[in-house]
Each structure stands twice: as structure tokens, then as C-alpha cells.
Structure 1
Amino acid sequence: ETGSPRRAGVSSFGISGTNAHVIIEQAPAVAAVPAPDRTGAPDVPASDTAAAATAATPALTPTARRTGPPVPLLLSARTPEALRAQAGRLVSRLDADPDLELPDVAYSLATGRAPLEHRAVVLGRGRAAVRRSLTALAHGRSAGRLLTGGPVRPGRTAFLFPGQGSQRAGAGAELYRDDPVFADALDEVLTGLDPHLDLPLRDILFAGPGTPRADLLDRTRYTQPALFALETALFRLVRHWGVRPDLLMGHSIGELAAAHAAGVLDLPDACALVAARGRLMDELPEGGAMVAVEATEEEVRQALLDDRAGHSVPEREAGREPGGEPGRDAVDIAAVNGPASVVLSGDADAVRRLAGAFRSRGRRTRRLKVSHAFHSARTDGMLDAFRDVAESLTYHAPGIEIVSNLTGRTATAAELRSPDHWVRHVRGTVRFLEGARRLRAEGATTYLEIGPGGVLSGMLHACLSDPGPTPAPAPGGAGTVPLLRDGRGEPEAVRTALASLHLRGVPVDW
């Protein structure tokens, strides 16, 4: 047994010379789906049920898949009072007709009513749970599976693609089992990536936490392709639901996912560039360090000047680690992630020395768990080989605006089509703070994070809470929506994210 479906070829040769050939494949297994419980919530907690289902699934194959998450109940009205009244009428309708199916109600609400300013979404699946949420809404109370929002405000939608450090074992596994759109998209991306890798990426992506294969997810040669694959499949899933971004921004490797989403690179070229980036970085001499420090960029730059002034060139060269570039700065600013969040990268001794200086001032520091000092002089050894790959590819003008973390501003078509841009992107500082402010200046009010969790969502809140040099957000404030969340069932997380977008006025094709 190979774990793959059986296939056979059947030929027919007619006496007059007619030839026919057909290829047949083993039929997929069909799992029995129990009838929904219409009497109330199940006795077994949802988390326990999900765990049991996961344990009972011997292999992650896209067989017996459902058709995606069920549509929630969408309510809207011109005033809060009218919204509560609508909820009360729905309760009465459900009570009057026990045979009324919730999917029929959800479909009618989603397709038969125009979405108005005041909105609510009921996410419960069982009849009793839905009735509790509707009753709470009718009385102006909150409930566990009830989402409400203020009046819908105008604004643009930005998609955020996270970078290395956001990966987690098993991300996407539930969606791959349950959602055929996501599974088909991921299969296509993995097919494009696998010829560039020495191991099947699917086995690493979906390995159980704590297993040797899962540990490989933290190796750069697999981390970056894995994130690109997951984010590209999630992007296609969201687009399937009709959600269209006005702006895109990625963090480091995430910008390559954004570039593919915008049409700058087709899938084969994007896979080649992503795989080469991860492989060449992984082949660099190990060593160096990266430390996040609680400080402004100006404070860090002054500390770098002070450190260089206090250590002569011979002293710095004597302390340089193997793999460091002679004559180059021992420490670089790898990322500016917030008003007071900067990442140092470079030779370990120098990075530790600077981090210690900030700790002595009472600032928080955190060493990042990485194999290499990214976005520093220690990556210079890969740039020529990476340039060779970048120059062999074909680039196109973006179909969606991209705010580049290389410059912190909207990238021009000429920049995105230049191989030099992507080479400098490897080495340069990740300017997430400036990019977040640019998104705000461009009118973005809703930010959907397309990745394994909510890393960028948390960073974005800190960036936008600082007034900075750009205009304040539009009335109603900015809202971040992570598509997936660690510790939450993935199909339900997607369903909740789509509902949250709907509440903020983002069109969703239910």
C-alpha cells in the first residue's frame, strides 16, 4: 500500500483500427455524516469533539470533505432598535415552525435582504444555541456565539501576510480535511514547491506537534515555503468567499506571498523564488543572534553609534564570529515592528551587548529563536546566488496595491518588477511600522491577517495606536481580523473571521 488511490488504464482496440483508452481511479471513501442535533447543544464540548475527530483521522487526504463552513445567520437593520426587533421576530418564527431548517433561514437572510448599517451575526449551529443568541440580541444582551458591531463605516480593506516566526505545527490541517477550496489551492501550491525541495512539504506542514517532521518546520528552507503555501491557499479561500483586498502588505517572506497574490509573480516563478530564498538562507553559516528590544528606532541607532564609538575596529573584528563579514557592521536593525519595538540582528556577542545596555535602562528584551541572523550583514553571502534566481524570473505589474516593508510606502510597478528589489528585500530592514502607517494613510480601516495566527494583528494595534506622522483612522477606528487562531478550530475560525468582516461592512459572498 502506498497511501495513494489505486489507478488503472483500460484499453480497447477495435477491429477496424479504433483505439480507446480510459484511466480509472479508486473511488474516495465517504464518511457517514450524522444528522444535526436540533434539540440543543451537544453534551461533548466542541474542543473534545474536534480532538476526537483528529485522533480518529489516520491520514490527511482530501477525501470525504465537506463543502466548507455553513453560513451563519446575518441580521441587519437601519437602527439598533430595528435590529433587536428583527431578532425577536426570528425567535417567534423558529418557535412557530419546529421543522424550519436553520440552513434555509441562513440562506434567505444572506441572499434575500440588503445589508444595512447595524448588523449582527449568529454563529451557533444547533437550534437551541441559535435561539439563545437571538433572544439575547432581542433583549440587548451579549451571548457567546453572537457577534455585533457598531454602524458600518466606509474604509478600505488591507490583507496582511506574516513572515518567519509565525509558523506553527499543523496549521491548515483541519481546513485541508474540511474545505475543498482550501485543499485544492494548497495542493496546487505544494505541487509547485515540491520540485524545489528535498522533502515533501505536506508531510512537514501537517506533522503532529513535537514530532521530528514538525521540528523541520523551524528550518528556514522549509519555513518560508510552508508559510508561502499556507498563505497563498488562505488567500484563495478568502477570495472564493468574495472578499477583495484594496491593499496588501507582507512581513519579510510574507511580501512574496503578497506579490504573488497581486499577480507580480505567477505561481511557478513565485515558488522558485521562495524556495531559493529559504534554501540559500538555510545554507549560510549558522550563528549570530536576533533580539527584540523595547526601544524606538532612533534610540537603537544612537546605541549602535555609541557601541561603535566605544569599541575600536580591531576590537570589533577580533570579536567577530565565523561567518561574519570583515569590515561590516556587527549589528543591524532587522525590523522596526512598532513605535517601541525594534529587532537587532548580527553577531551574537555584539547583539547581546546592545541588548544588555537596553536591559540596564529597564527595557524589555527577548532573544528570538532563529538559526541565522536574518536581515543583517550575515546574509550577504547568499545575495549573489539569490540575484541569479531573481533575474531568471518574469515579473508583472501588480493588480493590487502593495505596501512594501522594504520602504514602508506603496511600491511602484517598476520596483516590484525589479530583481534588485527582491535582493535588497532579503538584506534590508523590515519597515513594518512605516508600512502600517502608510496603510492607514491610504484609508485602510479593516486588516485581515492571512496566516497561521494573529502575530501581525497584535503588532498593527501598537503601530496604529501611535499617532505618528499620518492622519488618524477614519471614524469607527481600525479593526484587525486574524483568519486563523492558534487553539481554535480552523473552519470555525474562518467562519468567525468572515462574519467579523461582514460586521465591518466588507462584502462577503455568502
Structure 2
Amino acid sequence: MGVGLYRAHPGFRTRMDEVLGLWRAHGFDLRADWLAARTGPETDGPRTAQPLLFALDWAVGRTVLDAGVRPAALLGHSVGEVAAATLAGLFDLTDSVALMADRISQLDGTPPGGMLAVQASPDEVAPYTTDEVVVGAVNAPRQVLLAGPEEGLRTAQQKLRADGFTCRRARALNPFHSPVLTEAALRALPLLASVPVRRPRLVLHSAYEPGPLTYERARDPRFWALQPARPVLFGPALDLLLAEREVVLAEAGPGQGLTVLARRHPRVARGGSRAVGLLLARPGTPEAEREAFDRALAELSDAPAEPAADATAQASRPVRAGLQAGLTRLRPGTGAPVPADSE
């Protein structure tokens, strides 16, 4: 995803080369597999999927900022929250890549597991959860993901299907966003405690603790360390973001899974706010990907960066807000959001 834009957009290519170079310095040589669009167990694993998700999120978002667009707020999803924090200025890019590389190494060797997408509410899936199999993400009122060890997740899937629920396994190879990862996640604390956290230049919303992320909270290393073991509450976070004002939501990550979720939100579906994807839902030609990016960028450029002083007179002009992808993408041929193949 994004390879066509890489070939057609010099600015994006420069930013992608920048972040891929930093990953390579930490032993993650991602370029060849990404440009060749290789898939399989190795590319689905966290050592490839998570760095590429971060790289795409950051490079697309940075290209938008380079064009002079200033978002009113940023909201990340899973790995996308670290990318959003970097774009907002909390972390330096070099530090962010080092933190993500350390996170991945700490999680290496954790028990096998995965994630299960279920078309149900958190309350409906509660009877199927255990101490280890938990709700790992709430993406919408009836779009949740269970996370946990392999055996427990398989049992939950069998019971859910027997009771008539629609569910589907992601190709995630780790039980992301479940307490099973707590011990491993906390091993990232020493490096996190040593990294400078700057006051953000942009408003950052959190999908782990829905609402604007304060500078004081962002300076707590445990907040970042525990993210792989905590649930992603993207749906509630989006509710709060859309409740503030009318916005143009722009998804900066691969696919348009978050765009689809956002368009189903009542405040978007009724026509007040809008949602656009900066990348195509599926890989396209360089020309098609450049055209789609330029079209989305033009829509963002037409929206004011900050709420107007005369809120009544300007109520019909949505401001810009950014979405950083991380967990969902489109299921080919259906347009339905499902978990991505990584986290």
C-alpha cells in the first residue's frame, strides 16, 4: 500500500525514504518487501507489519503537513497513536523509531495469539471473555476485536459462531491489546523514560484514553509502554472528536478502513462532517494513487485549520482533523472494515 504514491510523488518518496532509513538502522530492512508488495507469514509478523504501518502513517501525514495543511487535531489507532504523536511534535522521529523498534523487540517471543473481529457490541461479547481473552479494540458500537492467546481465542470464536455472531480472525500473530502482553510491554519503560517528550505543536487525541491527550499524561512513560496491552477505544475517541465541531477527517494510513468507520458515524452520515482517505482502498497505479492523494489534499486545503471566531456564521465549514490508521482496512470486495493483518 502506498507504493504507487511513492513512485509518483517526490515529496512522499523523500519522507518514506527518511523513515525507512531510520528503521534500517535498527535492523529492519523493509524497503524491498514493501516495494515488491510481498505477503505471507513473515510480512504479517510484527517485525514487518508494525514498522511499515508506522512508516506509512508518518510519511503520509508528514507529506500533508509539508503541503501547508495544519490539522485541528490528530487521532491515532494503535501504532498510529505513536505516529500521530510524532507528527504532533511530542516525539522526534528518530526517537519514535527507536521506541517502536524497542517495543517490537520486547514483544518478540510472547505467547502466540491473535485478534478476532466480531460484529457485536462490547456488552454482547462480554460473556465470551476471560482473564486472558479480552476486548482489545472498540472501533464502533458494533465493531469490536477480541484479543488473547491462541487456544482461548479459538474457543471464543467457536462459541460466538455457535451463537450466531459474525466473526473473523485477523492474521495477527500476537495477542495485541490484551493483558497477556503486560509484562513484556513494561520492559520498554527504561528507554521510554530516557526519551524527551516535547510540548505538542498540534492537538493530539488518544484512542487509549479518549479525549485530548494532556502534556502531563504524555510525559508518563507507562502511558506509552502499556499501549500494546491496553484496549484501543477508537469508537469512543471518534465520538468525542466529532462532538466538538464539524470536521474533515483524513485517514493517513494504508487502506480506508478508518474512513469507512468514520463515514458510518451519525455525525458524518448525516452530512455535517466528512471523511476522506489519502491513500486508495486498494493498491493502484502510480497515477491513480497520486490523483487520489491530490484530490484528498485539495479537500483538506479547502477546510479551515482552526474553528472560526464567529462559530455561528461559519458552522457549515468543517475544520481539518487527522486519522492515523493502524488496525483496520477494507475486506476486498465488500467495503467492510476488518482488522489489518498485523495489530
TM-score category, normalised to shorter length: 0.7 to 0.9
Q: Which residue of 1 aligns with 2:29?
A: 200
C-alpha contact (below 8 Å) 1:410/1:438 kept by paired residues: no
Compared CA separation, residues 363 and 497, structure 1 to 2 (3 A): same
Q: Which residue of 1 aligns with 2:314?
A: none
Matches within 5 A, 1:80-159: none
Q: Which residue of 1 aligns with 2:239?
A: 437
Q: Which residue of 2 aligns with 1:176?
A: 6
Q: Which residue of 2 aligns with 1:295?
A: 120
Report SS of the residue matched to 1:430.
coil
| Bigger Rg over Cα | 1
Per-residue deviation at 1:479? 1.2
Compared CA separation, residues 442 and 284, structure 1 to 2 (3 A): farther
So what's the TM-score if we normalise by structure 1? 0.56
Instruction: Choose the corresponding residue for 1:498, options 283, 293, 297.
Output: 297
C-alpha contact (below 8 Å) 1:288/1:347 kept by paired residues: yes
Instruction: Choose the corresponding residue for 1:482, options 261, 277, 285.
Output: 277
Q: Which residue of 2 aligns with 1:265?
A: 91
Q: Which residue of 1 aligns with 2:144?
A: 342
Per-residue deviation at 1:302? 4.0
Report SS of the residue matched to 2:182.
helix
Per-residue deviation at 1:352? 2.6
Counterpart code for 2:274? G
C-alpha contact (below 8 Å) 2:136/2:232 kept by paired residues: yes
Residue 77 of structure 2 corresponds to residue 251 of structure 1: yes
Name which structure has the greater RCO, CA cutoff 8 Å, separation 6+.
2
Compared CA separation, residues 444 and 250, structure 1 to 2 (3 A): farther
Q: Which residue of 1 aligns with 2:335?
A: none
Q: Which residue of 2 aligns with 1:457?
A: 259
Report SS of the residue matched to 2:212.
coil
C-alpha contact (below 8 Å) 1:403/1:438 kept by paired residues: no
Per-residue deviation at 1:208? 3.6
Distance (Å, rounded) in 2 between the aligned partners of 1:437 and 1:478: 12
C-alpha contact (below 8 Å) 1:289/1:345 kept by paired residues: yes
Q: Deviations over 1:222-259 (max 9, x none)?
A: 22221212221111211222221101111111000000
Report SS of the residue matched to 1:346.
strand
Per-residue deviation at 1:487? 3.5
Counterpart code for 2:277? P
Report SS of the residue matched to 1:183.
helix
Instruction: Choose the corresponding residue for 1:385, options 164, 187, 191.
Output: 187
Report SS of the residue matched to 2:136.
strand
C-alpha contact (below 8 Å) 1:293/1:343 kept by paired residues: yes
Q: Deviations over 1:317-340 (max 9, x none)?
A: xxxxxxxxxxxx121111011101
C-alpha contact (below 8 Å) 1:284/1:381 kept by paired residues: no
C-alpha contact (below 8 Å) 1:223/1:278 kept by paired residues: no
Counterpart code for 2:289? E
Q: Deviations over 1:148-171 (max 9, x none)?
A: xxxxxxxxxxxxxxxxxxxxxxx2
Residue 87 of structure 2 corresponds to residue 285 of structure 1: no
Distance (Å, rounded) in 1 between the aligned partners of 2:270 and 2:115: 38
Q: Deviations over 1:206-232 (max 9, x none)?
A: 12445xxx7643220222221212221
Per-residue deviation at 1:495? 1.7
Distance (Å, rounded) in 2 between the aligned partners of 1:350 and 1:193: 34
Distance (Å, rounded) in 2 between the aligned partners of 1:474 and 1:342: 20
Q: Deviations over 1:172-218 (max 9, x none)?
A: 32222222211221222222222112x422223212445xxx76432
C-alpha contact (below 8 Å) 1:330/1:350 kept by paired residues: yes
C-alpha contact (below 8 Å) 2:114/2:148 kept by paired residues: yes
Residue 196 of structure 2 corresponds to residue 370 of structure 1: no
Per-residue deviation at 1:507? 9.0
Q: Which residue of 2 aligns with 1:276?
A: 102
Distance (Å, rounded) in 2 between the aligned partners of 1:340 and 1:349: 24
C-alpha contact (below 8 Å) 2:245/2:318 kept by paired residues: no
C-alpha contact (below 8 Å) 1:243/1:507 kept by paired residues: no
C-alpha contact (below 8 Å) 2:111/2:149 kept by paired residues: no
C-alpha contact (below 8 Å) 1:408/1:431 kept by paired residues: yes
Report SS of the residue matched to 1:205.
helix
Compared CA separation, residues 474 and 217, structure 1 to 2 (3 A): closer
RMSD of equivalent CA atoms = 2.4
Distance (Å, rounded) in 1 between the aligned partners of 2:318 and 2:274: 12
Q: Which residue of 1 aligns with 2:44?
A: 218
C-alpha contact (below 8 Å) 1:445/1:474 kept by paired residues: no
C-alpha contact (below 8 Å) 1:176/1:183 kept by paired residues: yes
Per-residue deviation at 1:365? 0.7
Q: Which residue of 1 aligns with 2:325?
A: none
Counterpart code for 1:205? W
Q: Percent identity?
A: 33
Per-residue deviation at 1:385? 2.0
Distance (Å, rounded) in 2 between the aligned partners of 1:303 and 1:174: 42
Report SS of the residue matched to 1:374.
coil
Residue ranges of structure 1 left out of the alignment (5+ in a row):
1-170, 309-328, 466-471
Compared CA separation, residues 506 and 337, structure 1 to 2 (3 A): closer
Distance (Å, rounded) in 1 between the aligned partners of 2:294 and 2:41: 30
Q: Deviations over 1:431-485 (max 9, x none)?
A: 01111101112214210000121011112233x23xxxxxx56984221100011
C-alpha contact (below 8 Å) 1:397/1:417 kept by paired residues: no
Q: Which residue of 1 aligns with 2:323?
A: none
